[in-house]
């Protein structure tokens, strides 16, 4: 049986990342993709996850399931961001290990690295100094997932690895202004301001921090590449290797959306980490690099947003 005929379970297949991986693998000819909605399988419930693995027996697991959000959501719901992410990933990793899953790919976030680490961020900078306080709850959970995969690889020589993407964007992103990340929030703000007579747009912070952005379809390509390859390490950064200021991002999105009003920066709001550029040399050495240009990706995402704005649900954390 070839790899494309094996059972591949994509946890979180309805989220932005999971949906992109599903689209990618389906297009590439994978025949046995498995996905369960949160109503069908609560990944926070250990017994239910164990039962699922016992019944389905996937050969490969791609973990794109997580409770996610921006600075505001992380600040307001620290316990949920820590505990629910720990529950989800621990249940998946342990069930995969106990049911002899041959390959497990854990997806994290660049926020696992220290706030003031030297740039660009190398994988070995993990746990060398303090995290950014506004999202340390999510970061601590993700670090635990990275270390769980590393421990299984070290102790049992299983092919468990973690991919750490930079800031992601693309179709099926979260555009809720209360819980979204910076890029989709800007798309929505500029779009609504344009529709309302090009009103001024107020944005958080100074605009000086620098950020790197990766289209979710590029991440999906990296996941497939890692899944089909034989990576020697347990942790790899995934990004473009290029960044820009939040102010430049705002100007770029404003131009793409066609908003003609003023930009106002609320400097009383936190900036977050000053810079988060990933060193992507390790995955580049394995043979993979990003291919989607940022402006092209934002333009495509804006078109998707306009096509789906009526169906977008407001995300709430209870």
Per residue in 15-39, pLDDT (tens digit) is 999 999 999 999 999 999 999 999 9
Mean pLDDT in residue range 48-73: 91
Task: With H, G, I as helix, E, B as strand and everything else as coil, classify residue 275.
Answer: strand
d(CA 212, CA 286): 21
> Does the annotation flag 202 for ligand binding?
no
d(CA 71, CA 95): 31
> Does the annotation flag 165 for ligand binding?
yes
From residue 27, give the alpha-carbon distance in Å to each of 20, 224, 226. 11, 11, 17
Per residue in 206-232, pLDDT (tens digit) is 999 999 999 999 999 999 999 999 999
Q: Annotated catalytic sites, by residue?
A: 138
Residue among 168, 187, 194, 186 at smallest CA distance from 64 = 168
> Does the annotation flag 241 for ligand binding?
no
Q: What's 120's DSSP letter?
A: S
- pTM confidence score: 0.93
> Does the annotation flag 203 for ligand binding?
no
- Write down all domains in the chain, each with its CATH number in brackets: 3-172+213-241+276-292 (3.40.50.720)
């Amino acid at each position: 049986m070839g790899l494309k005929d094996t059972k591949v379970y994509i946890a979180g297949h309805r989220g932005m990342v999971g949906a992109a991986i599903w689209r990618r693998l389906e297009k590439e000819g994978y025949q046995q993709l498995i996905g369960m909605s949160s109503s069908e399988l609560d990944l926070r419930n250990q017994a239910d996850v164990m039962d699922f693995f016992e019944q389905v027996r996937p050969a490969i697991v791609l973990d794109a399931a997580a409770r996610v959000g921006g600075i505001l959501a992380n600040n307001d719901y620290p316990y949920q961001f820590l505990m629910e992410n720990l529950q989800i990933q621990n249940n998946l990793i342990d069930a995969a290990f106990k049911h002899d899953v041959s390959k497990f790919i854990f997806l994290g976030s660049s926020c696992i690295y220290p706030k003031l680490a030297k740039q660009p961020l190398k994988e070995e900078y993990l746990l060398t100094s303090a995290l950014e306080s506004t999202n340390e709850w999510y970061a601590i959970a993700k670090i635990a997932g990275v270390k769980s995969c590393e421990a299984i690889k070290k102790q049992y020589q299983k092919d468990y690895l973690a991919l750490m993407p930079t800031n992601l964007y693309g179709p099926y992103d979260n555009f809720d202004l209360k819980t979204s990340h910076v890029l989709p929030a800007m798309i929505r703000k500029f779009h609504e301001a344009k529709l309302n007579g090009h009103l001024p747009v107020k944005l958080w912070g100074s605009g000086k921090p620098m950020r790197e952005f990766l289209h979710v379809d590029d991440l999906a390509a990296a996941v497939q590449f890692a899944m089909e390859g034989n990576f020697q390490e347990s942790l790899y950064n995934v990004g473009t290797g290029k960044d820009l200021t939040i102010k430049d991002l705002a100007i770029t999105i404003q131009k793409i959306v066609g908003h003609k009003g003023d930009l106002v920066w609320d400097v009383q709001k936190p900036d977050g980490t000053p810079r988060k550029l990933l060193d992507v040399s390790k995955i580049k050495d394995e043979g993979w690099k990003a291919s989607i240009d940022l402006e092209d990706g934002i333009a495509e995402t804006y078109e998707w947003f306009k096509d789906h704005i009526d169906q977008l649900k407001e995300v709430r954390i209870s």
